[in-house]
């Protein structure tokens, strides 16, 4: 609840973000580069992306037993600080095990399915569209499958629509390719 006179400025504070990110480190890594398989890295994620995801965890649209109670305690200013902090960290490719045949099959699929239209060339993300390059393979697989089965929270429906034509075999190839992108 905000009052007309009393809402605080939402200008993000990187140092505050660093402090507020301490409870996130156990799963997402101190600098937002996670090492736990299945857990996404947050380093280098666009500010808008992280902020919108936190809003969705807080209001229940995005469901996760760990994230929901954490997000419930965050104010709008906390979210702005955290999003700015993670966006400023250097993203490192996750050490996923990828299959070269899958990677080769996945590359043309990324072009065919217009992934770069929103996620930009190199799949580095922008605004509300996530950085995908070098993300954890297991996490990408879980999320794409959830979009396909219409069980993942989707801000504007784009990913739900985008995943419908994909077979599960194509989803697997696609995430193998995506996991190879980015710098180590």
Residue matched to tokens 């072009």? 111
Give pairs for 157-163: CB < 8 Å, separation 24+.
Answer: 158/118, 162/113, 162/114, 162/115
In terms of CB distance, is 59 or 183 closer to another protein?
59
Binder among 18, 51, 131, 176 for another protein (CB under 8 A): 51
Q: Report the site for another protein in 108-127 (rule: CB under 8 A).
A: 112-114, 117-118, 127
CB of residue 35 to another protein, shortest distance in Å: 27
CB of residue 96 to another protein, shortest distance in Å: 26
Calpha distance 108→16 (Å, rounded): 42
Calpha distance 132→29 (Å, rounded): 17
In terms of CB distance, is 71 or 103 closer to another protein?
71
By rule CB under 8 A, what string of x and - marks binding of each residue 55-84 to another protein? xx--xxx--------------x--xx--x-
CB of residue 121 to another protein, shortest distance in Å: 10
For residue 62, the 8-state DSSP code is S
Is residue 124 classed as helix, strand or coil in its secondary structure? coil
Is residue 138 classed as helix, strand or coil in its secondary structure? helix
Q: Report the site for another protein in 157-176 (rule: CB under 8 A).
A: 157-158, 160-162, 164-165
In terms of CB distance, is 13 or 138 closer to another protein?
13
Q: Is the dihedral of CA 134, 95, 172, 164 positive or negative?
A: negative
Total binding residues for another protein by CB under 8 A? 39
Of 180, 169, 106, which is closest to residue 136 (Cα–Cα)?
180
In terms of CB distance, is 27 or 155 closer to another protein?
155
Calpha distance 166→54 (Å, rounded): 28
- Contacts with another protein by CB under 8 A lie at 1-5, 7-11, 48, 51-52, 55-56, 59-61, 76, 79-80, 83, 112-114, 117-118, 127-128, 154-158, 160-162, 164-165
């Amino acid at each position: 609840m905000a009052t007309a006179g009393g809402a605080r400025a939402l200008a993000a504070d990187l140092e505050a973000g660093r402090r507020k990110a301490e409870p996130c480190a156990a799963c997402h890594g101190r600098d937002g580069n996670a090492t736990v398989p299945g857990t996404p890295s947050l380093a280098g994620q666009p500010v808008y992306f992280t902020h919108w995801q936190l809003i969705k965890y807080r209001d229940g649209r995005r469901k996760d037993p760990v994230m929901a109670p954490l997000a419930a305690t965050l104010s709008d200013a906390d979210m702005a600080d955290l999003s700015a902090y993670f966006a400023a960290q250097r993203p490192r490719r996750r050490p996923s095990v990828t299959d070269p045949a899958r990677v080769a099959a996945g590359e043309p699929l990324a072009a065919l399915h217009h992934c770069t239209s929103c996620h930009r060339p190199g799949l580095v993300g922008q605004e509300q569209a996530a950085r995908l390059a070098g993300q954890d393979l297991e996490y990408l697989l879980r999320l794409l499958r959830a979009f396909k089965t219409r069980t993942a929270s989707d801000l504007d429906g784009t990913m739900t629509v985008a995943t419908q034509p994909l077979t599960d075999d194509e989803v697997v190839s696609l995430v193998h390719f995506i996991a190879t992108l980015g710098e180590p």
